[in-house]
Structure 1
Amino acid sequence: MANRARYAVASVTGALVVLGTLASCGTGDGTAGASPQPPASAGRTAGDSPPRTATSPDGTVVSPSGTAASPSDRAPTAPGRTDRPGTRCRTAELSAAVGRMDPGAGQRNFPVVLTNVSSRTCTVYGYPGAAFVDAAGEQLGRDPERTAGDATTVTLAPGESAWSGLRYASPGVSGARTATPATLLVTPPDERQPLEVPWRSGPVPVSGNASSVFLTVLQPGSGP
């Protein structure tokens, strides 16, 4: 009987030790705690960036899944603009030409005309780019300067045109050094690819006194 009593006491003591061990692994309120969860950033290595969005050519922000973002995520347009990025005329949708010279007061004035040759209505805003180049494609003279003016959005239906005034002092009057360009490169507003227009109006000032060339903002029509 004594041996059985000692065995029972030992069994009860062992059970109490096991319960005590389990209690030390619990949470602060005495209940058994679940394994700690990894933080939300787990699985990302140091230096990882959040998912990025892309921007389509017309200014629409596109998510990684390929869907367009909300209007508030669209790329902003230039201050004061009223057109949407998707309506802008692209270089491939336009042709360029130089109109007849209009001389006056020691100046040579030309309309630089952009015409919508596409099947959709598009818009131009502001100033075109322009550069005289020789037969080797090297620029002659400095970039044209912009004449102050109020830019407005010009809407071009298929076949319609907008023009910008290009002017410079007559070299015979100003005494500027001249060169005869092969081509006038005309770049539509907000575009990078220029249109090539053969230059047939003789020498232009490239350096020296009064050698600056000036451009005006685009306006509807094909010239004054």
Structure 2
Amino acid sequence: MAKTSPPVHRAPLLAAAVAALGLLTACGTDGGTVDAPRPSQVDRATHTDSGTDGTPASRSVPSDSAGSASASARTDGRCHTFELRASVGRLDPGAGQRNFPVVLTNTSDRTCTLYGYPGAAFVGASGRQLGPDPRRAPASPETVTLPPGRSAWAGLSFASPEISRARTATPATLLVTPPDERDSLEVPWTAGAVPVGGDESSVSVTVLEAGTGP
């Protein structure tokens, strides 16, 4: 009669192995070891692509490299110096005052905005500034929206030198700087002498508003 092997109790052994594995996993968690989230979980949580080293990499929007600078300017609401043309309007005389509209015109193909005061400086033929910067007339600025071809203006005013007896000089150009910009626009100055020193030499500039003058 053939001998038979005694039955092997595999079920208890398997249960013991599973329990031991569970105990080891719990101990690892308590010791500070945390399973890394799956890439699919990271992608869903942060909306990013995974980089080659496994770290999240920001998702970028493809752009035309040849026109990246132009695209950046189009998304910026402010009018930039290179998008504007400056001019000085006709003299608007007042009671002992000389008033000139300084006009900024949008020459670009997009709508942009201006807000606040333009910078202004009289410059002589040598390129040296004549007199101090104009003071800002008190006002509450408002945003001026300029579609292509439209203009905004600010008033440049000073007392007539014949009346004020201020020391004068004759500028070659007027430098106009749009609000929040560093680059200036040169405008030939053909309106004669301006005050550059003395008690009554103050020049003022107003905030920009829509149009080309009063």
- Please point out which of 69, 78, 90 is paired with 1:88: 78
Q: Which amino acid aligns with 1:181?
A: P
Name the counterpart of 2:124. Answer: 134
Question: Relative to 1, partners in 2 of residues 1:173 and 1:66: Cα closer, same or farther, differing over 3 Å?
Answer: farther
Name the counterpart of 2:115. Answer: 125
Separation in 2 of the partners of 1:181 and 1:187?
A: 17
Within a 5 Å distance, the mapping from 1:1-16 to structure 2 comes to: none
Residue 216 of structure 1 and its aligned partner are, at CA, apart by 0.4
Matched, 1:177 2:190: no
Matched, 1:106 2:92: no
Separation in 1 of the partners of 2:171 and 2:60?
A: 47
Name the counterpart of 1:80. Answer: none
Separation in 1 of the partners of 2:177 and 2:104?
A: 10
Question: Relative to 1, partners in 2 of residues 1:176 and 1:123: Cα closer, same or farther, differing over 3 Å?
Answer: same
Separation in 1 of the partners of 2:131 and 2:59?
A: 45
Aligned residues: 152
Residue 66 of structure 1 and its aligned partner are, at CA, apart by 8.6
Task: Tell me the SS of whatever aligns to 1:172.
Answer: helix
Name the counterpart of 1:197. Answer: 187
Name the counterpart of 2:201. Answer: 211
Separation in 2 of the partners of 1:36 and 1:149?
A: 62
Residue 86 of structure 1 and its aligned partner are, at CA, apart by 1.4
User: Where does structure 2 lack aligned partners over 5 or more consecutive residues?
Assistant: 1-26, 34-56, 62-74
Task: Tell me the SS of whatever aligns to 2:108.
Answer: coil
Residue 190 of structure 1 and its aligned partner are, at CA, apart by 0.3
Separation in 1 of the partners of 2:112 and 2:170?
A: 34
Within a 5 Å distance, the mapping from 1:30-45 to structure 2 comes to: none
Name the counterpart of 1:159. Answer: 149
Separation in 1 of the partners of 2:151 and 2:106?
A: 6
Runs of 4+ in 1 over 4 A off after TM superposition: 64-68
TM-score, normalization by structure 1 = 0.63
Question: Relative to 1, partners in 2 of residues 1:172 and 1:89: Cα closer, same or farther, differing over 3 Å?
Answer: same
Separation in 2 of the partners of 1:99 and 1:223?
A: 7
- Please point out which of 139, 143, 150 is paired with 1:149: 139
Separation in 1 of the partners of 2:207 and 2:108?
A: 22
Q: Say what the alpha-carbon RMSD is for the aligned residues.
A: 2.3
Instruction: Kindly provide the CA deviation profile for residues 48-99 of structure 1, in whole angstroms up to 9, marking residues without a partner as x.
Output: xxxxxxxxxxxxxxxx96959xxxxxxxxxxxxxxxx810000000000000
Task: Tell me the SS of whatever aligns to 1:115.
Answer: strand
Residue 158 of structure 1 and its aligned partner are, at CA, apart by 0.3
TM-score, normalization by structure 2 = 0.66
Residue 135 of structure 1 and its aligned partner are, at CA, apart by 1.1
User: Where does structure 1 lack aligned partners over 5 or more consecutive residues?
Assistant: 1-30, 38-63, 69-84
Separation in 1 of the partners of 2:204 and 2:212?
A: 18
Residue 137 of structure 1 and its aligned partner are, at CA, apart by 1.1
Residue 209 of structure 1 and its aligned partner are, at CA, apart by 1.9
Residue 121 of structure 1 and its aligned partner are, at CA, apart by 0.3
Separation in 2 of the partners of 1:198 and 1:65?
A: 49
Task: Tell me the SS of whatever aligns to 2:76.
Answer: helix
